[in-house]
Structure 1
Amino acid sequence: MAFTYIRHQLHLHRQKAIVSALFILCLFGVTQAQAQKKIKGENKPGYDEKRIHYGFYLGMPLTKYKVEHSDAYVSQLPAIKVNAKNSPGFYTGLVLNVRLFEYLDARFVPGVGFYGRTIEFEGIDTNDGGEGPVFDDITISSTMVELPVLLKYRAKRRGNARMYFVGGLKPGIDLGNLKDTSSGGTKLHSEKYDLALEYGVGLDIFYPYFKFAPELRFSHGLLNQKASHTSPYSDLIDKMTNHNVSFILFFE
């Protein structure tokens, strides 16, 4: 069945992304451990005692829609297929970090993200007088203002490095509320507002003049992004939510 195939493909892509990102984090850890042998003393002592500090970040997500099919889709199986595809994106923003307790911080990391999520339609009949079923990729582009509010749990600092965990919520607003970019944007529409659950793991690395932190973060959309719209494409989808796996570089 198509549902089983889709779940299998998404599981494989998710595994590849997780393994790759964890490998990069481990590589940073090994590099830092080797550097510690050459460093005497502690960089930026007293950094964690500061109540507030600032920074910026660059994020590189692998993004896609998680699609839930409608009854209209089920009734047309196995003649048609609707699959979400992974696409790269980019986002950047600022960091406001507030120390709450010895190992716990609150973080507000507003930013702007640029995404183009693609859904692949195979065998759909548009009933537009053509020669029959068509194969089409629909990409919905969006420029999002994102306002994540996170809690960061820090491990005890070991020399000039430490691990941390982060989690929270990310509200988002699509500046243009763009439709799909195919054939005049009439096939599939998206909603303007979004809310996502976010969590991740990272590594703080202290240098003499700044702190650098590579982070692996997962984002799962909580709101249905399919807007009310009638078309042969839209009718096949009951719900679609945003999902990201991101590798983020923080400079604070």
Structure 2
Amino acid sequence: MYNLLRQKKSQLKVWAAGLMLMVASQQVSAQLRDQLNLPDHDSKRYYLGIGLIYNNSRFQVSQHSSFLQNDSVMVTEPENIGGFGLAGMHTLRISPRFEIRAIFPQLLFAYKNLTYHIKYPDASKNEQTVMTKRVESILLGLPVHLKFRSDRIGNFRVYMFGGAKFEYDLASNSTARKAEDLVKLTKYDFGVEAGIGFNFYFPVFILSPEIKVSNGISNIHSRDVNLKYSSAIDKLNSRMIVFSLIFEG
């Protein structure tokens, strides 16, 4: 009888512990639901945002066939240079998983360096054996992305995206006349983009750190056979890594 009573007490303790765990889990779930920030945001069809941007830019250089016959410019090397920008975000939800995002206006201040190794520097033009030419661009862009979103886990979500971009260079120097020290660029550029981002839901806004790779597919070099620093180059394609902090609501 003593053993039977002890077994019944043990079973009662197990049942009581299980009941307490069920009650506790329900309370935790209720608290999590109560602490969910911006719970109605996922029902929005369209919403706006603003992005603060840091970019790291460079050229992809393709040498011209005449480069081998050039006895002055020996080497042309691109360098990575940082820049900054600002963008407006327009997002349209098309399903629980997919969104279309247009970034306009996007204004980027991008800087790209080209370093030349000169065999016969011209002393009258203050040339040295190593010369660096800085190319500045003010890019007004319109990227369009298709976003794929994960499930929302509390106040956190991951998303991936890909798409295309169109850019107009407000600082294009392709029509410059006195351009001996310039590498001239065309006004327009087209490219593809892809990246990943993270949504952090706060009580009044969503903060989204994001990183993307942006590659131009068109040749933006306006080649001039009369310019030493331009004639050695055939094609220039833009390459850019973009870090963004996006605020949405």
- TM-score surpassing 0.5? yes
Residue 168 (structure 2) pairs with residue 173 (structure 1): yes
What secondary structure, in the 3-state scheme, does the structure 2 residue paired with 1:72 have?
Answer: helix
- AA at the equivalent of 2:161: V
State which drifts further: 221-230 or 148-157.
221-230
Partner of 2:81: 87
Question: Which amino acid is 2:218 matched to?
Answer: L
Give the distance between the partners of 1:106 and 1:132, measured in 2 at CA: 50
String of CA shifts for 1:97-150, please: whole Å, max 9, x gaps: 000111100001111111121100012546686798732111111111111111
1:242 to 231, 238, 245: 238
Change (3 A) 1:39 1:59: farther
Residue matched to 1:44: 38
| Alignment correspondent of 2:143 | 148
CA pair 195-176 structure 1, distance change in 2 beyond 3 A: same
**Paired residue for 1:13?**
none
Deviation at 1:185, TM superposition (A): 6.0
Which residue of the partner structure matches residue 202 of structure 1? Answer: 197
State the distance in 1 between where 2:112 and 2:190 align. 17
Q: 2:47 aligns with which of 47, 53, 74?
A: 53
Distance in 1 (CA, whole Å) between partners of 2:129 and 2:182 is 13
Which residue is 1:24 aligned to?
Answer: none
Matched ranges for 1:79-228 at <5 A: 80-110=74-104, 111-125=106-120, 134-178=129-173, 186-228=181-223
Supply the distance in 2 between the matched residues of 1:123 and 1:218 (Cα, whole angstroms). Answer: 32
Cα separation, 1, equivalents of 2:46 and 2:180: 45
Residue type at the aligned position of 2:113: T
Q: Report Cα offsets for 1:165-212 as digits up to 9, x if no partner.
A: 011111000113136x9x966431001000110000010110010011
Letter of the 2:40 counterpart: G
In the comparison of the two structures, how many residue pairs are matched? 215
Structure 2, unmatched stretches of 5+, are 1-30
* Root mean square deviation, CA, Å: 2.8
Question: 1:128 and 1:192, CA in 2 relative to 1: closer, same or farther beyond 3 A?
Answer: farther
Q: How far apart are the structure 2 equivalents of 1:115 and 1:185?
A: 22
SS at match of 2:189: strand
Name stretches of at least 5 consecutive residues in structure 1 with no aligned partner: 1-36
**1:246, distance to aligned residue in structure 2 (A):** 1.2
Report the AA paired with residue 73 of structure 1: F
Distance 1:101 1:178, change over 3 A: same
Corresponding residue number in structure 2 for 1:29 = none
Structure 2 residue 23 is the aligned partner of structure 1 residue 65 = no
**Could you say if the C-alpha distance between residues 124 and 170 of structure 1 is closer, same or farther in structure 2, counting changes exceeding 3 Å?**
farther
Cα 1:247–1:132 shift into 2, 3 Å: closer
Partners of 1:226 and 1:240 in 2: CA distance: 5
Q: Is residue 167–residue 199 contact of structure 1 (8 Å, CA) maintained in 2?
A: yes
Q: Which has the higher Rg, Structure 1 or Structure 2?
A: 2
